[in-house]
Amino acid sequence: MIYQAYRTQANFLDQVRPLAAAAGSALRLPWPRLGQDWPLRRFAGVLETFANLTVIHSRLPFEIESVADGNCLVPVTEEAVYSTPFATLLHFKKATGAAQPRVLLVAPMSGHFATLLRATVKTMLTGHDVYITDWHNVRDVPLADGGFDFSAFVDHLIEFLRVMGAGSHVVAVCQPCVPVLAAAALMAEDGDAAQPRSMTLMAGPIDTRINPTKVNKLAVQRPLDWFEQNLIAKVPRGYKGATRQVYPGFMQLAAFMSMNLERHMRSFNDMMEARAAGDRSKFQFIQAFYEEYFAVMDLPAEFYLETVKLIFQDHTLPLGKLEVHGRPVNPGAIKRTALLTVEGERDDICGLGQTLAAQDLCTGLRQYMKMHHVQTGVGHYGVFSGRRWNNEVYPMVRDIIQMTN
C-alpha cells in the first residue's frame, strides 16, 4: 500500500512539473514591466525549482570522461568486468599503459546509487586503477534471482576482489565498512591470495555504541518487528522485481531529509533565489547536488533488517558475535592487510570513535600497519567529497596504498 500510494503521487507530480516549468518560463518573458517585477520573478523561481526537484529511481551517469595524469588528460571509459543480478563490478579504464595500484571502492547500499561517490572516484583515478561496486536497484531484480542479505554482501566483496586479482586494495565508505572488514577477516583466515593489501574504512559504523548519533538512537528505540511492519513494502506489479520485499529508497530519502530538514529548506530557498536573480551558475550547482541526492534505489528487505539488527541493535562485530553464513568473523585473523580508518569531526551520521573501533578489533596487525585520521571541519560527506577530501584525506589514502603496494 505504501509503495502504491507513492507511485500514484509520483505519477501525478510527473504530470504537474512540466506545467510548473512552462509557467515559470512564461513569467520570465519580456512582458512590459511585468517581467521585471521581483515578486513575479521570485514566483517563477519557485515554480522552476519545483520542476527541477524530482525523485528518480535509476542511476545517473558517472560522466567521468577524462582524468589528469601528470600534465596530460587521459580518457576514461567504463567497463563492466563482472556482474551478478544485484551488482556490477565497474572498472574505470584509463587509456594509459602505466601500471597503477588496483583499488576496489565499495559504495554504500543505503538508498543511493554508487554515483554518490563520483567525486571520490574522480580523485582516486589520478593515481589508481579504480573499480567500484555498482549496486543495482533491487526493485528491478526478478524474485527468481533469489535474496540478498548481509552474507550475500560479503560474498560479493570477496568475489569482486578475486576477479580483480591478488595485490588489490579496498576502500569502503560508510555502511559497507562492516562487511568489508568481515570479508577481509574471512579471506585472511582462509589464506586467500586475493585478500587486500590495504583496507581503508571511512566514516563507517564499526561500533555504534560509541558516541551514538541520532541515526544510531533511532535504530535502537524500536524493536526489529517495528521496522519490518512499518518500513518494508512489496514492489508493485509493473517492475521486474514485482512482489519482492524491499525497504523503499523514497522512504530512506525521507528519513535522511527529515534529519537535516532546515539545511535542505535553506538550500531549496537558495536555489529559488538564485533562479529568480538569474544566477544560473549557483542554481545549476545546487540542482546538480539534488539530482544525485534524489536518485534513490530500493534495498532488499532482508539486507536492511539484518543491518539494523546486526550492526545497530546487537553490535555483533565489536562483541565478537558477527557471523557470515554461520561462520564467525574474527578481525584478529587479519595480519597482512594494512588498515586506515578515517572519521569526520562533525559527522552526525557516524559518530567519532565508531570507525576507530576497527583498530582495536584488528589485533593481528602490527602497530605500524594501522593508521587513523580525524578530518577536522567536515561532516559525513566531507570525509569522501570536497576540498578537504582532495587535499587532506585522499593523500593519506594514497600513502597507505603506496606503502603496501
DSSP states of 89-105 as a string? EEEEEES------EEEE
Quick check: 111 and 178 in contact, CB under 8 A?
no
Q: What is the pLDDT of residue 42?
A: 52
Domain-embedded: residue 227:
no
The answer, yes or no, to whether residue 70 has pLDDT greater than 80, is no
The answer, yes or no, to whether residue 256 has pLDDT greater than 90, is no
Q: What is the pLDDT of residue 365?
A: 97
Mean pLDDT within 335-340: 98
Region of poorest pLDDT, from 102-111, 205-214, 266-275, 375-384: 266-275
Shared domain for 206 and 346, answered yes or no, is: yes
Shared domain for 209 and 316, answered yes or no, is: yes
Q: Give the whole-angstrom CA distance, residue 351 versus residue 357.
A: 11
Query: What is the per-residue DSSP string for 127-140?
Result: TSEEEEEEE--GGG
> Residue 153: which residues within 8 A CB-CB, separation 6 or more?
109, 176, 179, 303
The number of domains in the chain is 2
Domain-embedded: residue 256:
no
Domain-embedded: residue 85:
yes
How many degrees, rounded to 5, is the angle at CA 338 between CA 332 and CA 343?
Answer: 95
Q: What is the pLDDT of residue 140?
A: 94
Domain-embedded: residue 243:
no
Q: What is the pLDDT of residue 280?
A: 76
Shared domain for 192 and 282, answered yes or no, is: no
| Tens-digit pLDDT profile for residues 347-367 | 999 999 999 999 999 999 999
Q: What is the pLDDT of residue 14?
A: 54
Shared domain for 45 and 190, answered yes or no, is: no
Domain-embedded: residue 61:
no
Shared domain for 270 and 172, answered yes or no, is: no
Mean pLDDT within 288-298: 80
The residue written with cell numbers 523561481 in the block is: 45
CB atoms within 10 A of CB 199: 28
The answer, yes or no, to whether residue 31 has pLDDT greater than 90, is no
Report the CATH number that the domain containing residue 307 is assigned in CATH: 3.40.50.1820
Closest to 152 in 3D by CA, of 129, 118, 117, 182: 182
Shared domain for 273 and 378, answered yes or no, is: no
Shared domain for 74 and 163, answered yes or no, is: yes
Region of poorest pLDDT, from 84-98, 267-281, 299-313: 267-281
The answer, yes or no, to whether residue 8 has pLDDT greater than 60, is no
Domain-embedded: residue 314:
yes
Shared domain for 289 and 333, answered yes or no, is: no
Q: What is the pLDDT of residue 41?
A: 52
Domain-embedded: residue 11:
yes
Shared domain for 191 and 333, answered yes or no, is: yes
Mean pLDDT of the chain: 86
Shared domain for 204 and 282, answered yes or no, is: no
Domain boundary among the residues 277, 293, 309 is at: 293
Shared domain for 35 and 71, answered yes or no, is: no
User: What is the grid cell recorded at 229?
Assistant: 511492519
Shared domain for 276 and 128, answered yes or no, is: no
Domain boundary among the residues 293, 312, 342 is at: 293
Exposed, middle or buried: residue 350 (CB in 10 Å: 0-12, 13-18, 19+)? buried
Give me the helices (H) in 149-278, please.
Answer: 150-164, 177-190, 214-221, 224-231, 249-259, 261-276
Domain-embedded: residue 228:
no
- Residue range(s) defining the domain that contains residue 144: 66-217+299-404
